[in-house]
Amino acid sequence: MGAGTRLGDLESMDRRVRRRLHNRALPLFTTIALLCLASGGLAGQEDEGGLYGSSAPGDAAFVRLVNARSEGGVSTSIGGSDFGPVPAAGASPYRPVAVGLFTVRIAERSVELITEDAAYYTIALTDAALLVFDDPEHTDPAEAQLFLYNLTSGPDLTLVASERQTDITDAVSAGESTQVTVTPVAVNLALSSAATDLIELGDPGLERGESYSVFAFGEGDEIDAFVKQATVATE
């Protein structure tokens, strides 16, 4: 993290970053979102919605599948919900999954998933592993949420504002994730590390109350990344 590039610089860019760092993530989406999901959602929303999306069954967790590979689609079924096919460098919406213990099997790999009511999870397939993350709750509808998942096998990565190379997150080690909330202003994002050149991600178009994820994957200095806005599908 560069000297003098923390919250002071972010505030000067009108981007108040409130940190809630976690080395493998927590519960995602706001209490308001969960109430909307449980009670039928907001009028006029469709089956696949944003942070304050539409109805979902009670007593459910929410899971998404990320394909952090450079080629080949993947599919799986968890607790009666089907996922996929998810293309390479892609992510599914969050889908409702029953509360319980599951063994998830994808591409000859397996991982244990223990789901809890109203909690959110990301399952990420890389070339080397199948990983599970508990996803933090977004509690401020006036802010945007940004996740960084380091699904590489290599260097620590930091999410930065590319124009000034101002750090948005702390460095995230391989196989870990973090999240922050920021004021939703126009900003070009990039990934920075000591081992590679700056990886430009562009402007994701941050909006209030929405959640966005940056997924980085690859090996050594061959790192790719993509940005995905979170949605919840209830079909």
What is the chain's percent helix, strand, coil content, to nearest 5? 5, 45, 50
Q: Hey, which residues does 87 pair with through a beta bridge?
A: none
pLDDT at 56: 53
Query: For the chain, how long is the longest CA-to-CA vector?
Result: 49
Mean pLDDT, all residues of the chain: 80
Torsion of CA 227, 170, 132, 197, to 10 degrees: 50
pLDDT for position 26: 33
Average pLDDT, integer, range 140-144: 95
The Cα-based distances of 91 to 19, 43, 64, 88 in angstroms read 25, 26, 7, 9
pLDDT at residue 57 in the model: 62
Distance separating alpha carbons of residues 184 and 72, to the nearest angstrom: 34
Closest CA to 66 of 46, 94, 42: 94
Tell me the CA end-to-end span of the chain in Å, nearest whole number: 42
Query: What pLDDT is recorded for position 235?
Result: 67
Q: pLDDT band for 42, please (50, 70, 90 cuts).
A: very low
pLDDT, position 139: 80
> What are the pLDDT digits (tens) for 86-123?
999 999 999 999 999 999 999 999 999 999 999 999 99
d(CA 129, CA 107): 10
The reported pLDDT for the residue numbered 154 is 87
Over residues 4-12, mean pLDDT: 38
| pLDDT given for residue 27 in this prediction | 34
Taking 50 as the threshold, does the pLDDT of residue 184 lie above it?
A: yes
